[in-house]
Amino acid sequence: MDAFLTSLFALALAEIGDRPQILCAALVIRYGKATPILWGLGLATALNCFISALGGSVVNQWISEEPLRLFYAISLIFAGAGMLAWRRPVDLLEKWTIGPFWTAFLGIFILQLGDKGQFILAATAARTDMWAFAAIGGWIGVMIACVPALVFQEKLAQMIPITRIRQFGGVIFLIIGGVMALSAWGIL
């Protein structure tokens, strides 16, 4: 249950105001219908979460507990830095003509490859034998962050303080990651 909740909350926070959320809103505005975008988001995220968690489970078998804790700490530090740093504009995939589902599925899947959420999820799964719970929690977390963008589109930015949430989340990830890293090195 720890892996499930950790990945759920971490990914929900990490994805607020991130590129997949922005792309979801833009695609709904472009195509005028949320259902195929929701299916594309759900499938792309499920596949990505499965790959990340499975990769983490492989790492679990190779590495002892202290390096795994450091791996998790580094994933949180990078996530925090990423949330605080400037991010490049999202490619809205306007030249893609493969329909709403495939544009959402492929666009979001590609955006999530190598993203902070993928590393957090892999690190979470690496610290447990229940990697499937980490994958499910991560999937739900991303969906919690992105589904409101499907419903509210650009109004979402007016309804919630996305910049403040990203700043708060970034600081929280940096603090937790820093403490965990110092602990893994035996400093704390």
Instruction: Give the pLDDT confidence of 98-117 residue by residue, as tens digits.
Output: 989 999 999 999 988 888 88
pLDDT tens, per residue, the chain with 188 residues: 688 988 899 999 888 878 888 888 888 888 888 899 999 999 999 999 999 999 888 887 787 777 888 888 988 899 898 888 877 777 677 788 898 999 999 999 998 888 888 889 998 888 888 889 999 999 999 999 889 888 877 776 677 777 788 888 889 989 999 998 998 777 87
Residue 154 neighbours by CB distance under 10 Å: 12
Instruction: Give the pLDDT confidence of 44-62 residue by residue, as tens digits.
Output: 999 999 999 998 888 877 8
Backbone φ, ψ for residue 22 (5° rounding): -65, -40
Asked whether the beta carbons of 25 and 156 are under 8 A apart, the reply is yes
Q: What is the C-alpha radius of gyration for the chain, rounded to an integer number of angstroms?
A: 16
Backbone φ, ψ for residue 86 (5° rounding): -65, 140
Domain count, the chain: 1
Model pTM score: 0.86
Structural domain that includes position 87? 2-184
Cα separation, 73 vs 176, whole angstroms:
7
Asked whether the beta carbons of 88 and 151 are under 8 A apart, the reply is no
Within 13 Å, how many C-alpha atoms sit on residue 153's CB side? Answer: 10
Running DSSP on this structure, what letter comes out for residue 63? S
The helix or strand, by DSSP H or E, that contains position 4, with its residue range, turns out to be: helix 2-14
Say which residue the tokens 């955006």 belong to.
Answer: 111
3-state secondary structure of 46: helix
